[in-house]
Structure 1
Amino acid sequence: MKSTKPILAITMGDPAGIGPEIAVKTFEGSELHKVCRPILVGNAAIMEKALTFSEKNLKVRTISDVKEARFETGVMEVLDIGMPLDETIEFGEISAVAGNLAFHSVIIAIELAKNGEVDGTVTNPIHKKAINEAGHHFSGHTEIYAEYTNTPKYAMLLADDAIKVIHVSTHVSLRKACDLVKKERVLEVIGIMNDGLKRLGIEKPRIGVAGLNPHAGDEGLFGDEEINEIAPAVKEAQNNGLDVTGPVPPDTLFALASGGRFDGCVAMYHDQGHIPFKLAGFHWDQEKGKMKSVNGVNITLGLPIIRTSVDHGTAFEIAGKGIASPDALMNAVEYAVKLTKNRQ
């Protein structure tokens, strides 16, 4: 009987970071193969070395085509990107070689999804400086996916059981982020959020929209972006039949959302959304000196293909130590599976 579980392409991430480690830990777990048919896209030699992080005798099997995959439990099938190592990659060190390998793993995963060979993609963390040193001038995964899928309208959604946040802008300076708060973009992101929440199984999403300024501008005392840009976008979204509230003071919005008032929040810039999201999902164990849990998923909405990701970086400071948590990668897999079930 042919399996109905989706085929997911999971990228290696920057090999100098924790990507290979958390990939190994996820593939050796019992849950991965229960929910999907996974393949790892990356350098097979690097993933062989990463088996030192395995506690359960995980095996690597190299394939050159998705059709060769058997999807066996206890086996990580690596679709090798065909780029042999020409120098040693050291954990925790930025290098163009590592950045190039990580970048091409992503590009191949995108092509597999565009061609219908996989049902979705899940990305491990890349290092922005490393990929730029390799000559690939992007500020992150989101922009890579947008470029290689020819997607003009997209947005970053952070998703967890407790809170879901989408952003009007992401990888730009704070000064520029303020200039990007325009009615058209805010309205666009509200619409993308509404569609995305529906794809995650929320039939009638309730969306809260953050203000940009303290107290959401306090009737113009602390800025007029709320009056001139955000409120008009919210009003138009309401007129279009969406359940939207705002602008809500940012220091209140996320507390309301985590308590169940909203299904999703629209943040005006990167840190406004990331800080409350990571506060809810990242938990540090002071005694053990490591994260005891790292939950949360980064989803790029608006694309013609599915892309979810861990919502943490390469963690160079702990790379190679064997203490990285695979929680977020498994979360990303689970969200990718949800999205495959609710395709538009």
Structure 2
Amino acid sequence: MEKKAIIAIPMGDPAGIGPEITVKALAQKEVFEAGKPIVIGQADILEKAIEVTNVDVVLNRISNIQEASFEFGTIDILDLDNVDTKSWTYGEVQKQCGQAAYEYIQKAVEFAMDGSADVIATTPINKESLRAADVPHIGHTEMLASMTGTKDPLTMFEVRNLRIFFLTRHVSVKEAIDQMTKERVRDYLMRCDKALKRLGIENRSIAVAGLNPHSGENGLFGMEEVDEIRPGIEQAKAEGIEAAGPVPADSVFHQALHGKYDAVLSLYHDQGHIAAKMTDFERTISVTNDLPFLRTSVDHGTAFDIAGQGIASSVSMEECIKLAAKYAPHFTADNS
């Protein structure tokens, strides 16, 4: 029988929907049975989440992972007790919540780095709360990079049968185009192929999305494909990567969804985000590669406007945990 992965789940910003979607997800038997979850957060806030969502679970407060029961109907929680609940409130930017969310992630990383946990599945954090707490990172990816000494983590989205990597992330479109050099395209195709291999995918094929309409029509609508993108693809192919493109962006994601390619390399943030979220918004899951461990994440925010009402959907969190469990057996050092 295959060993189940231990999944560390930092509960996110205490003022947001993270605690609610966590308890809702772990109240689903198929989700709980996918792996062995442990939540890192604050017990009384998680108790409040259980109350507002009306789910049938109880908490098991633990001081280390060895004390976890991993029994359905029970949520094992490592209580950091780092929020003053007398001054805490739902749906607002709060310094203490930004600091607490950061500390939950730190503890999850500690567990992953020392082997106590196999993977991390993260819930939403709030950039303004982090800033209020003087946390020197804008989001999860930057935190994880700093905490693990990773230079440039590689982001992948997965939704249904579609996997999307990103050549550029949080930069303007103009700056993204400046970064679309043949060297970067080649480097990222090599990294994407390595990431897919590490996730257990054999005979990998990767398509590169085009930038301009019809991928530029050989220079009629722009020279980026001719000067940089296609030469980068050819360099990667010369080194044994099965790469295709540039394939027009209005068709490549559809083709990959239906099995023509194992993944698509999106050239900029919104190009890939739109394709994934139009396929299935709630089931789009972010996977962070090139870390010493696997990390999956929901791809939505803290939803302060509905926090504390018990109405937040847990579908994305459920998929996040299941995807972590799915890839965990493949994500080993000897497969890197």
Instruction: Calculate the TM-score normalised by the size of structure 2.
Output: 0.93
SS at match of 2:165: strand
Whether the aligned pair in 1 keeps the contact of 2:25 and 2:317 (CA below 8 Å) is yes
Query: Higher mean Cα deviation, 230-239 or 114-123?
Result: 230-239
Q: Which residue matches 2:292?
A: 304
Is 2:205–2:263's contact at 8 Å kept on the other side of the alignment? yes
CA apart distance, 1:53: 3.6
The 1:58/1:169 distance shift into structure 2, 3 A limit, reads: same
> Could you tell me how far apart the structure 2 residues matched to 1:104 and 1:183 are?
39
Q: What amino acid does structure 2 have at the position aligned with 1:85? A: D
**1:313 alignment counterpart:** 301
Range that drifts further, 113-122 or 88-97 = 88-97
Residue equivalent to 2:13: 14
Structure 1 equivalent of residue 99 of structure 2 = 100
Q: Aligned equivalents of 1:317 and 1:179: distance in 2?
A: 37
Unaligned runs of 5+ in 2: none
Q: In the alignment, is residue 331 of structure 1 matched against residue 319 of structure 2? A: yes
Aligned-residue RMSD, C-alpha: 1.9
Give 1:281 shift. 0.8
Percent identity of the aligned residues? 40
Deviates more, 1:79-88 or 1:187-196: 79-88
- Name the residue aligned to 1:27: 26
Question: Which letter maps to 1:319?
Answer: A
Q: Secondary structure at the match of 1:172?
A: coil
Cα pair 2:83 2:97 within 8 Å, conserved = no
The one-letter code of the counterpart of 2:191 is: I
1:163 aligns with 2:162: yes
Counterpart residue number, 1:264: 263
TM-score (norm 1): 0.91
Q: CA deviation at 1:91?
A: 2.5
**CA deviation after TM superposition for structure 1 residue 93, in Å:** 1.8
- 1:54, CA displacement in angstroms? 4.1
- Give, in whole Å, the separation in 2 of the partners of 1:262 and 1:223: 25
Question: SS at the partner of 1:92?
Answer: coil
Residue 66 of structure 1 aligns to which amino acid in structure 2? I
The aligned residue for residue 153 of structure 1 is 152
Q: Is the alpha carbon distance of 1:53 and 1:199 closer, same or farther for their aligned partners in structure 2, counting shifts above 3 Å?
A: farther
After superposition, residues 137-152 of structure 1 pair within 5 angstroms as: 137-152=136-151
- 1:63–1:193 distance in 2 versus 1, CA, 3 Å: same
Asked whether the 8 Å contact 1:154–1:192 carries over to 2, the reply is no
Q: Secondary structure at the match of 1:245?
A: strand
Q: For each residue in 1:150-183, what CA deviation from the matched residue of structure 2 results, as whole angstroms up to 9, or x when unmatched?
A: 1113211000223111101112222322222222
Contact 2:53 2:311 in 1 (8 A): no
Instruction: Report how far residue 87 of structure 1 moved.
Output: 5.0
Deviations 1:21-77 (A, max 9, x none): 110001111113312111001122211111114444311122121111111211111
Q: How does 1:215-254 map to 2 (within 5 A)?
A: 215-254=214-253
Q: Residue type of the partner of 1:340?
A: A
What amino acid is aligned across from residue 293 of structure 2 in structure 1?
A: I
| Inter-CA distance 32–174: structure 2 relative to 1 (3 Å threshold) | same
Work out which structure has the larger RCO, using CA pairs closer than 8 Å and 6 or more positions apart in sequence: 2
Q: Distance in 2 between matches of 1:153 and 1:56?
A: 39
Taking a change above 3 Å as real, the CA distance of residues 219 and 27 of structure 1, as seen in their structure-2 partners, is same
Label 1:205 to 1:239 Cα distance change in 2 as closer, same or farther (>3 A).
same
Q: Taking structure 1 as reference, are residues 180 and 87 closer, same or farther at Cα in structure 2, changes over 3 Å only? A: farther
Letter in 2 for 1:314: T
Counterpart secondary structure, 1:60: strand
Shift of 1:197: 2.4
Moved more, 190-199 or 245-254: 190-199
Is the alpha carbon distance of 1:316 and 1:56 closer, same or farther for their aligned partners in structure 2, counting shifts above 3 Å?
Answer: closer
Greater Cα offset, 47-56 or 165-174 = 47-56
Paired with 1:229 and 1:64, the residues of 2 have a C-alpha distance of: 53
State the Cα deviation string for residues 264-297 of structure 1 (Å, max 9, x = none): 1101111110011000012xxxxxxxxxxx1121
Number of residues of Structure 1 aligned to a counterpart in Structure 2? 332
